[in-house]
A and B are shown apart, each in its own frame.
Chain A
Amino acid sequence: MIRFLVNRLLGMAVVLLLVCLFTYVIFFVLSPDPAVQICGKNCTPEAIDRIRANLGLDEPFRTQFWTFLTGLFAGRAYGTGANAIECAAPCLGYSFQTSQPVTDMILQRLPVSATVAVGAAVLWLLAGVAAGLLSAVKEGRFADRFIAGLTLTGMSVPNYVLALSLQFLLVVTLGWLPFPQAVPFAEDPGQWFLNFLMPWTVLSIGAAAVYTRLTRANVIETLQENYVRTARAKGLSPGLVWRRHALRPALTPIVTIFGMDFAGLLGGALITETVFGLNGVGKLAADSITKNDQPVIMGVTLLAAFLVVVGNMVVDLLYTAIDPRVRVGSAT
């Protein structure tokens, strides 16, 4: 078990290192010279050289990358002597636009994004699994067909269309919901909930539809398993057969997919946050892309990669806990 854990952690480190390397190459080597961008229009070659020296861009690539990496873990200093600016770990550099530390910019916006993402994930997991179970129980009947229609709609409507139409309907026309603002939970839980309700719904609807179908298919398939027949042959009640022998095998694959989807939420958050004007990491990324603010884009990319890798790791560990075939190797 410990060996398995060490293995996974090492693998994770390697993947993250590679991600760092690739993003660094893409944003600092293959992109237009950052020094020129920072310097602006009225620029002298001396000024550019000074900026390059400050950013360490005059160093060979290997040194640059190494400084960047150590910056991530131990912090780094830009410039030398009295002009040096200390950037604490995890240092992702400074925004070209606002000169703020990228780490701070992300951390400021993370709570909003996390609220949107976690809320949406909880919502789609609950709604998807519940609808899927209902669909499986009522296989072929009206409820099943009705849910099938809903999932089809949910999967085919694009996020932004849904976001805009919900906003128009519920906020502008009916006035049932406030225009979403990031109200802190501690301030007013009720308002907090109402404010985030729309972003959650929008972000979760597509995934909820997929989870509904997945749950339904898994449950129906599991009910065909021989061990379900064995359970019935033992005289267990239908409820017990369901709870013990059908549900756990049927829901296990969902855990796997959930972990990965959750990590990949950032992309969905991007659109949702933009549409509802919520100041989260997604919006930060969108803004920096339009302004070509490379350190920020890179910081967000690294965060996303980190989340995906960690998400996968968590899924692996969960899977190990759930499925004995993974946990204990076969013996005898």
Chain B
Amino acid sequence: MTDQRPLLRVRDLTVGFTTAAGRVEVVKRLGFDLARGGALGIVGESGSGKSMTSLAIMGLLPKGAERTGSIELDGTELTTLRERQMQAVRGDRIAMVFQDPLSSLNPYYTVGTQIAEAYRAHRTGVTRRQARKVAIEAMERVHIKDAARRVDHYPHQFSGGMRQRVMIAMTLSMEPDLIIADEPTTALDVTVQAQILDLLAEIRRDTGAGLILITHDLAVVSEVADHIVVMREGDLVEQGTAEQVFSDPRADYTRMLLDAVPRIDDEIGLLRTTATEEPR
């Protein structure tokens, strides 16, 4: 490694909303690094702020959200960029895969059009034929068979797993430095999930892109990520290498989570739970 600088450096990231009831912080002073080509898993239950973190990095927070802190991509501070400049980063240097592939794809356009869209947005003077070629290549890279024909199909003509492949193909046309995948397999069947996780690993290996995987599933994150960030209600609970977090968790909350995960290959007994539920 000649370059010691991390690919992504997040410091003191805070996301808040001002509501009638006062200010609510959904992400609180979050900080982590992602090494070049590394895979970081952000894991947490609902309301942990993990998805807000990904949207904060993309600069796609919902209206009314206030973001403070620092997000550095390869030395470039993203939080001070103008919207125009941020557009140049989105889809080109950072690409994102969302949870529900069906609703995340526009039903009115062919998958080919949507895959090539980022390419056309970031390159000038792209002809229709070039765009089509880029789309077909991207589809072949995510192992969609018969890509030359399928490129003209619409999202509803694909199965759930194939749609997620299309979503991943969308991120590939610009060779991004960082791919953020937010619950990419949650809506999928377990056999399809395994295929999509393999695909993400393959792409990482081939392109050297960094990956942030956001998930509620500890088993999934343990298979994919080399670094883990555990979040709870906007707080960073603990972070470390995957081995460290899974074999010697420091925080009680992490221990509780690990105890609560039902195993396919471990002892069967009462799942240990220590968390108490608060009323809404």
Contact = CB atoms under 8 A, between A and B. Distances in A.
A324 B156 CA distance: 9
Nearest to A235: B91
B88 A235 contact: yes
A332 interface: yes
A233 interface: yes
A238 B167 CA distance: 21
A331 B60 CA distance: 33
Contact of A332 (B60, B90, B114, B158): B158
A235 B122 contact: yes
B213 interface: no
A53 B131 CA distance: 74
B276 interface: no
B100 interface: yes
B90 A234 contact: yes
A284 B108 CA distance: 44
B104 interface: yes
A248 B90 contact: no
A183 B196 CA distance: 68
B273 interface: no
B78 to A, nearest CB: 13
B157 A240 contact: no
Contact of B121 (A226, A234, A248, A330): A234
Contacts of B108: 248-249, 252, 322-324
A248 B110 CA distance: 14
Contacts of B114: 230
Interface string A219-250: 00000011101111111111010001100110
Tier of interface size on chain A: 20 to 34
B201 to A, nearest CB: 22
A234 B89 CA distance: 9
A233 B87 contact: no
Given A227-B103, A227-B106, A234-B121, A325 B89 contact: no
Contacts of B104: 226-227, 229-230
Interface in A250-275: 252
A2 interface: no
A174 interface: no
Contacts of B118: 234-236
Contacts of B91: 233-236
Contacts of A249: 106-108
Contacts of A6: none
A229 B87 contact: no
A325 B106 contact: no
A1 interface: no
Contacts of A325: 107, 154, 156
A193 to B, nearest CB: 36
B162 interface: yes
A237 to B, nearest CB: 6
Contact of B106 (A231, A237, A240): A231
Interface string A151-165: 000000000000000
- Residue of B92, B96, B100 with most chain A CB atoms under a 10 A cut-off: B96
A187 B106 CA distance: 49
Contacts of A248: 108
A236 B60 contact: no
Nearest to A248: B108
Interface string B137-171: 00000000000000001101111001000010010
Interface in A307-332: 322-325, 328, 330-332
Contacts of B83: 238
Contacts of B98: 226, 229-230, 233
Contacts of A330: 156-157
A225 B156 CA distance: 16
Contacts of B153: 328, 331
Contacts of A233: 58, 60, 90-91, 95-96, 98
Interface string B112-139: 0010011001100000000000000000
Given A233-B95, A235-B87, A332-B162, 10 more contacts: A230-B96, A230-B167, A235-B89, A236-B118, A237-B87, A325-B154, A328-B154, A330-B156, A332-B157, A332-B158
Question: Closest 9 CB pairs between A and B?
Answer: A235-B91, A235-B90, A234-B91, A234-B118, A227-B106, A226-B103, A324-B154, A233-B96, A226-B104
Interface of B: 58, 60, 83, 87-92, 95-96, 98, 100, 103-110, 114, 117-118, 121-122, 153-154, 156-159, 162, 167, 170
Interface of A: 225-227, 229-238, 240, 244-245, 248-249, 252, 322-325, 328, 330-332
24 contacts: A226-B103, A226-B104, A227-B103, A227-B105, A227-B107, A230-B96, A230-B104, A230-B114, A230-B170, A233-B60, A234-B95, A234-B121, A234-B170, A235-B87, A235-B92, A237-B87, A237-B121, A252-B108, A324-B156, A325-B107, A328-B153, A328-B154, A331-B157, A332-B157
